[in-house]
């Protein structure tokens, strides 16, 4: 038994799912016409191939080619069987053809209720034939008494709501879009007016200046430069224009891709490597296989090999540019900084090329890596922006080069220096151990400060914070609060545990207490700060308590850390304590 095919359902599938726009019927008819001309030339017949599109009244058009035409047997074989294709008979010859799936003609049913095809084969049989097909699956074939030229003509009349696709201006737009660079002449006519659609030179055959002008005219912005793209195994020729403005990593790339001169898509995003999003490609291929919709390529081994080859073209261009045109090279780095960071992370060769020119946020300000390495052989990299901000000012005073690794790719870029620079050491900053880099107190100073530290630990224990005392610069910073993501997670978990329902609170408690050891943040008092010294020397425990609470909450605020309700309440109480002390000591004002 055979499957029963609902042709109307297939047409609905084509229009709503396979093809992105009803106008692709023009591309399908162009493809059939160009392939028919190619097939006739393969027979060795001498003729000037052409495709003609004529606009008639009543929203009717004809689409003609002087290619190989069809016999009655071929009509039965290829037009009456969905999925059958004339190009499959000889796979060795199929590389010369654009289409291979045998569903293209069905796209005409998306815009027309009937397809009328007039044809005469070039193989010498000589019969002129008419084929009429309808979307309900019925068709008819008859021999014509009059002799028609060799080739095929298709007549279509627009469905309601599709009339615009049968108007001259819209047809011209679609024919130019899909067939502008096809080698076979395409002629559009209406009444006595005749227009040759495809007289342009393809951009992949232009010199650099012509390609620059072409991109500027079509994209309305002048590219920074043009990169030549080639792939031997993919039969690819093309160009990549370097965008004159920065683009987001999330922006969808829209490369224009052609198959044997026929536009497949002007929105293809994956034909170039993902890191190459600072260029727009215009690419023509002879060998890659299209999908059934002919709006993308089959992602097979050949496809990925071609993409790698095109990526090598871009890399080689950048390497040569760095040697021959430093000014342009630096401008490209400046404009496409984020893109180049992505490239450098993924490719060792590009990493060595670009790393010197990339800028990083450091404890000494924004610097290029070349400037960083001039004066520092030991680098610390903070894995998060929050951790970098906690230590940046203090690190500079200690002459420590700390680099912010919290931005996209920066951590990997800095750590990779260990693989390419033998004389450079790079360590990931342990934020909770950062205070250990400061000068320790002597034995006597430690004894003097021990009661204060014990008191501070007692007060701050509930906030998961422990205290140390060190000498460090600058002296105007009384305390330094260091925390990491693990500590922050525990604090957040505790807040959630207090506010959650019993079941959820129990789940949080299990995660917090049984799966992890409780971590502690670090509050480092600066023994170089006069206020800290006074607080430690005070024998007033209430005043000391208020100082500790203010030191802690001030450090949170200076580090842009959020305050919990308990921490906010503690800050207010300690502030009120000192306000009351000051007000109580003020002399009474005489009445």
Annotated binding residues for ATP: 28, 32, 65, 152
Residues making up the annotated binding site are 28, 32, 65, 152
- Kindly state the tokens that stand for 373: 């390495």
CA torsion angle 92 95 101 105 (round to 10): -120
- CB 463, CB 517: distance < 8 Å: no
587: left (phi over 0), alpha (psi -120 to 50) or beta: beta
CA angle 418-424-426, nearest 5°?
Answer: 60
Helix 443-460 vs helix 541-558: crossing angle, to nearest 10: 80
- CB 258, CB 265: distance < 8 Å: no
For 449, list phi and psi in degrees, rounded to 5: -90, -10
Range list of β-strands (E), 6-82: 51-56, 60-65
Is 400 buried (19+), middle (13-18) or exposed (0-12) by CB count in 10 A? buried
Instruction: Name every residue whose Cβ is closer than 8 Å to that of residue 26 and which is 6 or more positions away in sequence.
Output: 165, 171, 174, 175, 178
Picking from 523, 526, 522, 496, the residue whose alpha carbon sits closest to that of residue 509 is: 496
Where do we find the tokens 């084969």? 121
Is 444 buried (19+), middle (13-18) or exposed (0-12) by CB count in 10 A? exposed
Measured between alpha carbons, how far is 268 from 272 in angstroms, rounded to an integer? 9
Measured between alpha carbons, how far is 258 from 99 in angstroms, rounded to an integer? 13
Q: How far apart are the first and last CA of the chain?
A: 114
- Kindly state the tokens that stand for 157: 């009349």
- Kindly state the tokens that stand for 434: 């950062």
Q: Read out DSSP for 486-532?
A: HHHHHHHHHHHHHHS-HHHHHHHHHHHHHSSPPP-EEEEEETT-HHH
- Kindly state the tokens that stand for 50: 């052409």
Picking from 2, 303, 8, the residue whose alpha carbon sits closest to that of residue 134 is: 8
């Amino acid at each position: 038994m055979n499957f029963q095919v609902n042709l109307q359902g297939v047409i609905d599938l084509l229009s709503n799912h396979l093809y992105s726009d009803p106008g692709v019927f023009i591309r399908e008819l162009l493809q059939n016409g160009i392939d028919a001309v190619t097939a006739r030339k393969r027979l060795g017949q001498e003729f000037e191939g052409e495709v003609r599109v004529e606009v008639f009244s009543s929203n009717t058009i004809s689409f003609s080619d002087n290619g190989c035409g069809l016999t009655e047997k071929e009509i039965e074989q290829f037009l009456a069987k969905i999925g059958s294709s004339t190009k499959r008979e000889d796979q060795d010859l199929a590389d010369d053809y654009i289409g291979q799936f045998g569903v293209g003609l069905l796209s005409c049913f998306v815009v027309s209720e009937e397809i009328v095809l007039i044809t005469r084969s070039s193989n010498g049989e000589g019969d002129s034939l008419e084929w009429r097909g309808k979307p309900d699956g019925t068709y008819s074939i008859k021999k014509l008494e009059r002799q028609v030229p060799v080739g095929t003509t298709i007549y279509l009349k627009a469905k309601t709501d599709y009339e615009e696709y049968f108007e001259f201006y819209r047809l011209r737009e679609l024919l130019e879009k899909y067939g502008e660079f096809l080698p076979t002449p395409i002629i559009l006519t209406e009444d006595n007016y005749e227009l040759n659609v495809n007289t342009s030179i393809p951009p992949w055959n232009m010199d650099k200046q012509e390609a620059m002008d072409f991109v500027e005219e079509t994209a309305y912005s002048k590219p920074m430069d043009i990169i030549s793209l080639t792939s031997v195994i993919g039969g690819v020729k093309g160009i990549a224009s370097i965008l004159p403005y920065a683009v987001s990593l999330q922006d969808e790339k829209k490369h224009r891709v052609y198959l044997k001169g026929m536009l497949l898509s002007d929105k293809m995003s994956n034909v170039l490597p993902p890191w190459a999003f600072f260029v727009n490609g215009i690419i023509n291929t002879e060998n890659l296989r299209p999908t059934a919709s002919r709006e993308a390529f089959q992602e097979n081994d050949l496809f990925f090999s071609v993409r790698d080859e095109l990526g090598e073209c871009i890399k080689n261009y950048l390497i040569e540019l760095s040697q021959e045109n430093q000014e342009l090279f630096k401008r490209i780095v400046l404009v496409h900084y984020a893109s180049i960071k992505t490239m450098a992370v993924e490719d060792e060769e590009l990493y060595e090329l670009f790393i010197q020119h990339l800028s990083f946020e450091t404890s000494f300000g924004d610097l290029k890596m070349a400037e960083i390495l001039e004066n520092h052989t030991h680098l610390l990299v903070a894995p998060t922006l929050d951790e970098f901000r906690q230590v940046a000012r203090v690190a500079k005073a200690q002459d420590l080069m700390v680099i912010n690794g919290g931005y996209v790719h920066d951590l990997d870029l800095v750590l990779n220096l260990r693989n390419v620079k033998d004389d450079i050491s790079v360590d990931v900053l342990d934020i909770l151990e950062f205070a250990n880099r400061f000068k320790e107190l002597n034995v006597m100073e430690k004894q003097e400060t021990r009661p204060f530290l014990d008191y501070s630990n007692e007060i701050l224990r509930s906030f998961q914070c422990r205290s140390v005392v060190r000498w460090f610069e600058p002296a105007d910073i009384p305390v330094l609060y260091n925390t990491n993501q693990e500590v922050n997670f525990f604090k957040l978990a505790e807040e959630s545990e207090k506010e959650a329902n019993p079941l959820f609170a129990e789940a949080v408690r299990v995660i917090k207490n049984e799966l992890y050891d409780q971590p502690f943040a670090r509050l480092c008092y600066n023994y170089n700060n006069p206020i800290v010294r006074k607080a430690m020397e005070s024998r007033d425990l209430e005043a000391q308590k208020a100082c500790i609470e203010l030191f802690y909450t001030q450090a949170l605020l200076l580090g842009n850390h959020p305050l919990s309700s308990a921490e906010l309440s503690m800050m207010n109480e300690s502030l009120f304590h000192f306000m009351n002390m000051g007000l109580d000591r003020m002399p009474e004002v005489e009445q």
